[in-house]
């Protein structure tokens, strides 16, 4: 998003003699952050030395953070970020490229909408489970959006995600071609701070453009050779919504590493497991081979699906291998 791309932002400099203003970070590039102030104006600001040092130490500013900005009297016409407010929530994943540490995608969210396509690219339910576990681990409510439903038979689209409905997740079936599901999804976004996450090419930017005309987000076609989307969003961008709330467009993620989750706690990130936890024969049951395991009993009874259980085992093994390194 360019700095004047959204008609939902009220641009204009804050008063030069203002001592300080508060607002939310909506995007950042090259150390310059765009801040939407509480009065609706958008200003650009850099970080003060103390905050820069904290960023070097790992306490990095993120889109969605609430900040206090001060007028820089040493450089008339400029603003600096003087303070970062405490976060109430965050969407975080492991830093990509094999690096250790956390990457905060968006801060101060109410919910995450995990967007997958019904086709082109073909959906991978086990990858969807990875996104959902990250949302659960961050304490964020999650909704599933199945986009491009015009490309498949409606029964087939619902069958692909039946196990997630059974797990308790709200699922929205949408199409920007037919308009299916857009009104209901728009209603769930109003007045909330939400992020759209998911792999590349599933139509997140197109979906946002149709939900809120005027955003004019850049989109790209699917490559027929690899059936994957090309990245059209470089970093997370927070868009103010008409009527209240924010919606963050996040980059398409092809590498989604778990972060901040202990292997022993991952069962709590599967909502359908939770009613059975604490009912195993052994208190330290890890729900893989132990006799008298309530989760495996639920699997045999069909209240936990095989696919979701396989995701649990795979993600637990992944976390155990990270802990051993």
Who contacts 258 (Cβ-Cβ below 8 Å, separation ≥6)? Answer: 93, 94, 130, 133, 134, 137, 315, 318, 319, 322
Instruction: Give the other-Cβ count within 10 Å of 213's Cβ.
Output: 9
What pLDDT, on the 0 to 100 scale, is given for residue 187? 96
| pLDDT score of 19 | 72
How far is 157 from 150, CA to CA, in rounded Å? 10
Whether 260 shows a pLDDT value over 90: the answer reads: no
Q: Report residue 176's pLDDT band, with 50, 70 and 90 as the boundaries.
A: very high
Identify the pLDDT of residue 99. 53
What average pLDDT score do residues 102-117 get? Answer: 93
Instruction: Provide φ and ψ at 168, rounded to 5°.
Output: 105, 5
3-class DSSP state for residue 144?
Answer: strand
Residue 320 neighbours by CB under 8 Å, 6+ apart: 263
Contact 252/202 with Cβ under 8 angstroms? yes
**What pLDDT is attached to residue 252?**
54
pLDDT band at 2 (very low <50, low <70, confident <90, very high): very low
pLDDT grade, residue 52 (50/70/90)? low
Minimum mean pLDDT range among 66-80, 141-155, 165-179 = 66-80
What confidence tens digit (pLDDT) does each residue in 194-250 have?
A: 999 988 889 998 999 999 987 765 444 333 333 333 333 347 899 999 889 999 988
Q: State the alpha helices, DSSP H only, in the chain.
A: 49-56, 125-137, 154-160, 162-166, 182-189, 204-211, 294-301, 306-324
CA 96, 98, 99, 100: dihedral to nearest 10 degrees?
100
Q: What pLDDT, on a 0 to 100 scale, did the predictor assign at position 199? A: 87
Q: Find the mean pLDDT for residues 91-100.
A: 66
Name the pLDDT band for 74 (thresholds 50, 70, 90): confident
Report how far Cα 143 is from the mean position of its chain's Cα atoms.
Answer: 11
Q: How many CA atoms lie within 13 A of 23 on its CB side?
A: 27
Mean pLDDT of the chain: 83
- Cβ atoms of 246 and 191 within 8 Å: the answer is no
- Does residue 284 have a pLDDT over 60? yes
């Amino acid at each position: 998003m360019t700095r004047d791309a959204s008609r939902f932002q009220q641009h204009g400099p804050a008063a030069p003699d203002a001592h300080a203003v508060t607002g939310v970070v909506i995007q950042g590039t090259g150390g310059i952050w765009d801040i939407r102030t509480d009065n609706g104006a958008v200003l650009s600001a850099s970080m003060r030395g103390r905050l820069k040092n904290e960023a070097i130490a790992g306490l990095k500013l993120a889109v969605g953070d609430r900040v206090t900005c001060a007028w820089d009297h040493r450089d008339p016409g400029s603003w600096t970020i003087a303070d970062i407010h405490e976060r109430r929530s965050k969407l975080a994943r492991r830093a990509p490229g094999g690096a250790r540490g956390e990457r905060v995608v968006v801060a101060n969210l109410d919910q995450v909408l995990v967007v997958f396509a019904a086709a082109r690219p073909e959906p991978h339910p086990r990858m969807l489970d990875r996104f959902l576990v990250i949302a659960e681990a961050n304490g964020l409510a999650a909704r599933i959006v199945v986009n491009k439903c015009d490309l498949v038979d409606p029964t087939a689209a619902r069958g692909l995600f039946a196990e997630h409905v059974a797990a308790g997740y709200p699922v929205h079936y949408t199409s920007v071609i037919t308009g299916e599901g857009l009104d209901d999804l728009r209603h769930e976004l109003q007045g909330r701070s939400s992020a759209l996450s998911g792999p590349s090419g599933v139509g997140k930017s197109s979906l946002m453009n149709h939900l809120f005309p005027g955003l004019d987000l850049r989109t790209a076609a699917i490559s027929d050779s690899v059936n994957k989307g090309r990245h059209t969003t470089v970093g997370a961008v927070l868009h103010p919504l008409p009527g209240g709330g924010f919606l963050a467009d996040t980059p398409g993620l092809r590498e989604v590493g778990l972060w901040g989750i202990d292997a022993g706690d991952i069962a709590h990130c599967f909502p359908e497991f939770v009613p059975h936890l604490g009912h195993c024969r052994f208190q330290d049951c890890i729900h893989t081979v132990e006799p008298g395991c309530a989760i495996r009993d639920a699997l045999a009874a069909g209240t936990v699906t095989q696919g979701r259980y396989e995701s649990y085992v795979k993600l637990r093994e992944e976390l155990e291998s990270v802990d051993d390194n």
